[in-house]
Amino acid sequence: MEKYLINIYGEFGKELYQKMLERLRILLENTHEKSETQLKTLKNTIMPRIALYQIIQEEKSKEESFRVIEEYMTNVVCVEMKRKYLLIEKLPLFSFVFKKIFIATVMKSDNWDAECVRNDKYGFKVIIHKCLWYDACVENGCPELTRAFCKCDDINYGSFHKIRFSRTGSIGMGSKMCDFQFSKKLKR
């Protein structure tokens, strides 16, 4: 993240990064009633983006702050995740393994309140009613930032060659729930 900020803002990027680290510390100190799993996700994934979003708004504008976070998520985070996904997609039985891991992760973790409404040989569908990413953004006064996280899901899951990803909406985009639907792509 520091390199990204330096690329955008030059030396001022270093200052922003240091301010972000301090804000991150404060945000985490003020985070209560979360499980160990949730705290780990907040610390590593969610809160650094929220902290940076807040800091850039204080120095620039809300619009620029959102743009910087969204571009960071799209051009850095998503690129790395997409590369990993496309690499593991080459594994035999990828669709089966991905389905098992995705369902197990979402259903067992308290980062989400979810239900699997379809699971058959053609694919699966998971409905998420509550999401730690959205909750954290709301709790920190920036529900609009959730859209950047949702966009990453669309980019990463949409990049698969063997699996088709679709959804009708997401909590971060204003829907009452997120639906993650994955189906095998037919071979031509």
Helix 146-158 with 62-72: angle, nearest 10 deg: 30
CATH number of the domain at 2-184, please? 3.30.1380
Give the pLDDT confidence score for residue 68 in this predicted structure: 97
2-45 pLDDT per residue, tens: 999 999 999 999 999 999 999 999 999 999 999 999 999 999 99
Interval 155-165 mean pLDDT: 93
pTM of the predicted protein model: 0.91
Closest CA to 96 of 126, 62, 115, 120: 120
Where in the chain are the domains? Answer: 2-184
60-86 pLDDT per residue, tens: 999 999 999 999 999 999 999 999 998
Give the pLDDT confidence score for residue 185 in this predicted structure: 84
